[in-house]
């Protein structure tokens, strides 16, 4: 057979196969109950992409209380490929995660309830709980396990990584293993491990520069706010939630040390020249007052279950007490919705969850950054389970990734996936930083 004719027949076969796979998938999706979908595949993609909306109960224990539609993204590479279940902690974006890439896997991304496109007509904050969010994920899992019979791996980043862990706690049989990134597990409303971390991370010289930076801004609060008022006006920021721009300014200054290490900022970026404009420029780059504006609090900080179940962190005002005007005790970084009345915080979930992590939290690969503030409340793997934690030296919240693991860690990481699932990884599929 001539080479050109052979190529022609191969192209016909591949086209026919692709069409058949797409037709079969869409037929299966059509038959799933309470699921609507649309094909959003981009030209040139090596996989099919679908936006789905899954009808979920607002209260899984009492479906009669109503429903909402949860946004789910499906990336399909093949029915025999493994499935990565990507859990989110807020609204969901688009993009590929590392785990699906190294495994050439299908991927299901699930937006967190009450965020983004997954908001009910009436927000009833008492149903924004860890249990309800885990039940959402379980429902999605049970739907799609009918289609994908291979290995299932869950993954998520930051609050999404926290979601991965709580999901595995409530439904340990849903996935074969979990890979949470930079997932904090706080132990109280004000997790004081954060303060210990900030008092010890980096060099004494760098910590002193951070302190001096914060102190200078607080000493010059009046002049700083005068300038920031113009910035806020241009950015159309309002501060009704905190009460006024002064409170938001002090929160931003107190937040600076936390965000500095979380972001992996350089100590060389901290000004020492006593020029207020330079200090404010650095503050806005690292701990912008917009985070403490109405818009950002409403978008990202609907901290209902942090106030009731999981805890969070606060700000230690003691070193700056003589300059602080708006707080007499450590303010919290928890900002529950104004329309919500959270129940009192209960440590029961943390206690039972921590016990499970220590005794039954198997087949979990944790990834943390060595200089990330969120590594302070990281999971410390007990000897009773087979899980493994990878603390990447010098990595921040944004760079603690598989591609940045040292070579010896990469080998162990890949080996664990092979041991637990039988799957081969192609780390070379990832671009380095």
- pLDDT tops 90 at residue 255: yes
Residues 6 or more apart from 110 whose CB is under 8 A from it?
A: 70, 71, 72, 85, 86, 87, 88, 92, 136, 137, 140
> Cα separation of 102 and 59, whole Å?
36
> Cα separation of 255 and 174, whole Å?
37
Q: Which pLDDT score is estimated for 302?
A: 59
How much of the chain exceeds pLDDT 90, in percent? 85
Q: What is the mean pLDDT of the chain?
A: 93
- pLDDT tops 80 at residue 231: yes
* Backbone dihedral angles phi then psi of residue 210, each to the nearest 5 degrees: -65, -45
Q: Does residue 217 contact residue 281 with C-beta atoms inside 8 Å?
A: no
pLDDT band at 13 (very low <50, low <70, confident <90, very high): very low
Q: Does residue 79 contact residue 22 with C-beta atoms inside 8 Å?
A: no
* Backbone dihedral angles phi then psi of residue 266, each to the nearest 5 degrees: -90, 140
Q: How many CB atoms lie within 10 A of CB 305?
A: 22
Looking at residues 179-188, what average pLDDT do you find?
Answer: 97
Question: Which bin fits 392, alpha (ψ -120 to 50), beta or left (φ > 0)?
Answer: beta
> Cα separation of 99 and 430, whole Å?
10
Looking at residues 137-154, what average pLDDT do you find?
Answer: 98
Looking at residues 66-74, what average pLDDT do you find?
Answer: 98
> Cα separation of 141 and 318, whole Å?
47
Point out the least confidently predicted range of 91-95, 145-149, 349-353: 91-95
- pLDDT tops 80 at residue 10: no
Can you read off the two tokens belonging to residue 407? 């070579």
- pLDDT tops 90 at residue 15: no
By the 10 Å C-beta count (0-12 exposed, 13-18 middle, 19+ buried), 350 is classed as: middle
- pLDDT tops 60 at residue 301: no
Q: Which pLDDT score is estimated for 5?
A: 46
pLDDT band at 17 (very low <50, low <70, confident <90, very high): very low
Q: Angle 289-373-227 (CA atoms, 0-180°, nearest 5)?
A: 15
How much of the chain exceeds pLDDT 70, in percent? 94
Structure-model confidence comparison of residues 256 and 335, the more confident one:
256
Looking at residues 165-169, what average pLDDT do you find?
Answer: 99
Q: β-strands 388-392, 365-369: how paired?
A: parallel
Q: Which of 88, 85, 95, 89 is nearest to 138 (CA)?
A: 85
pLDDT band at 200 (very low <50, low <70, confident <90, very high): very high
Q: Which pLDDT score is estimated for 345?
A: 86
Beta bridge pairs of residue 70:
54
Cα 358 to the center of its chain, rounded Å: 22
By the 10 Å C-beta count (0-12 exposed, 13-18 middle, 19+ buried), 348 is classed as: exposed
> Cα separation of 144 and 227, whole Å?
53
- pLDDT tops 80 at residue 174: yes
Q: Which pLDDT score is estimated for 64?
A: 96
> Cα separation of 346 and 117, whole Å?
29
- pLDDT tops 70 at residue 118: yes
Q: Which pLDDT score is estimated for 139?
A: 98
> Cα separation of 264 and 182, whole Å?
13
Q: Which pLDDT score is estimated for 19?
A: 61
pLDDT band at 300 (very low <50, low <70, confident <90, very high): low
Can you read off the two tokens belonging to residue 95? 């993009």
Can you read off the two tokens belonging to residue 344? 């009192």
Q: Which pLDDT score is estimated for 67?
A: 97
Looking at residues 299-312, what average pLDDT do you find?
Answer: 81
DSSP type of residue 319: G
Point out the least confidently predicted range of 40-49, 241-250, 333-342: 333-342
> Cα separation of 217 and 256, whole Å?
11
pLDDT band at 432 (very low <50, low <70, confident <90, very high): low
Q: Which pLDDT score is estimated for 8?
A: 42
Q: Which of 102, 76, 74, 78 is nearest to 86 (CA)?
A: 74
Can you read off the two tokens belonging to residue 258? 């936390």
3-state secondary structure (DSSP) of residue 92: coil
Q: pLDDT digit string (tens) for 374-416? A: 999 999 999 999 999 999 999 999 999 999 999 999 999 999 9
> Cα separation of 169 and 351, whole Å?
12
Looking at residues 159-187, what average pLDDT do you find?
Answer: 98
Q: Does residue 366 contact residue 387 with C-beta atoms inside 8 Å?
A: yes
Residues 6 or more apart from 306 whose CB is under 8 A from it?
A: 186, 312, 334, 336
3-state secondary structure (DSSP) of residue 427: helix
Number of helices (H) and strands (E), helices first, in the chain?
13, 9
Q: pLDDT digit string (tens) for 52-61? A: 999 999 999 9
For helices 245-263 and 193-200, the axis angle rounded to 10 degrees is 70
Structure-model confidence comparison of residues 233 and 3, the more confident one:
233
pLDDT band at 7 (very low <50, low <70, confident <90, very high): very low
Looking at residues 145-161, what average pLDDT do you find?
Answer: 97
Q: Which pLDDT score is estimated for 195?
A: 98
Q: Which of 82, 97, 5, 93 is nearest to 51 (CA)?
A: 93
The structural domains of the chain, ordered by start, are: 32-185+348-429 (3.40.50.1820), 193-320 (no CATH)
């Amino acid at each position: 057979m001539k080479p050109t004719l052979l190529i022609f027949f191969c192209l016909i076969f591949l086209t026919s196969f692709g069409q058949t796979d797409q037709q079969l998938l869409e037929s299966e999706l059509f038959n799933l109950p309470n699921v609507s979908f649309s094909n959003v595949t981009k030209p040139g993609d090596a996989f099919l992409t679908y936006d789905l909306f899954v009808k979920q109960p607002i209260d899984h224990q009492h479906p009669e209380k109503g429903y909402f539609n949860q946004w789910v993204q499906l990336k399909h590479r093949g029915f025999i490929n493994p499935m990565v279940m990507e859990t989110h902690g807020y609204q969901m974006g688009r993009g590929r995660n590392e785990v699906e890439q190294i495994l050439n896997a299908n991927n299901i991304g699930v937006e967190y309830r009450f965020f983004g496109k997954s908001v009910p007509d009436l927000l009833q904050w008492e149903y924004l709980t860890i249990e309800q969010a885990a039940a959402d994920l379980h429902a999605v899992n049970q739907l799609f396990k009918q289609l994908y019979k291979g290995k299932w791996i869950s993954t998520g980043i930051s609050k999404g990584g926290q979601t991965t862990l709580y999901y595995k706690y409530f439904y340990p049989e849903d996935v074969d293993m979990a890979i949470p990134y930079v997932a904090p597990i706080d132990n109280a409303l004000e997790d004081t491990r954060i303060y210990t971390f900030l008092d010890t991370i980096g060099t004494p010289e760098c910590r002193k520069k951070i302190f001096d930076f914060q102190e200078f801004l607080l000493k010059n609060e009046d002049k700083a706010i005068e300038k920031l008022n113009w910035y806020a006006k241009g950015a159309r920021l309002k501060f009704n939630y905190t009460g006024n721009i002064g409170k938001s300014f002090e929160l931003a200054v107190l937040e600076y040390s936390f965000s500095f290490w979380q972001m992996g900022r350089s100590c060389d970026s901290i000004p020492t020249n006593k020029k207020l404009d330079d200090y404010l420029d650095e503050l806005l780059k690292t701990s912008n007052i917009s985070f403490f504006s109405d818009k950002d609090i409403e978008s990202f900080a609907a901290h209902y279950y942090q106030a009731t179940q999981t805890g969070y962190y606060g700000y230690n005002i003691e070193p700056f007490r003589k300059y602080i005007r708006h707080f007499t005790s450590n303010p919290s970084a928890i900002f529950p919705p104004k329309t919500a009345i959270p129940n009192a915080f209960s440590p029961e979930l943390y206690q039972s969850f921590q016990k499970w992590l220590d005794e039954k939290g198997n087949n979990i690969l944790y990834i943390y950054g060595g200089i990330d503030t969120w590594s302070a409340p990281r999971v410390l793997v007990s000897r009773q389970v087979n899980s493994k934690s990878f603390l990447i030296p010098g990595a921040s919240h944004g760079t603690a990734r598989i591609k940045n693991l040292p070579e010896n860690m990469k080998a162990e990481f890949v080996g664990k996936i092979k041991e637990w699932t039988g799957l081969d990884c192609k780390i070379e599929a990832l671009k380095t930083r």
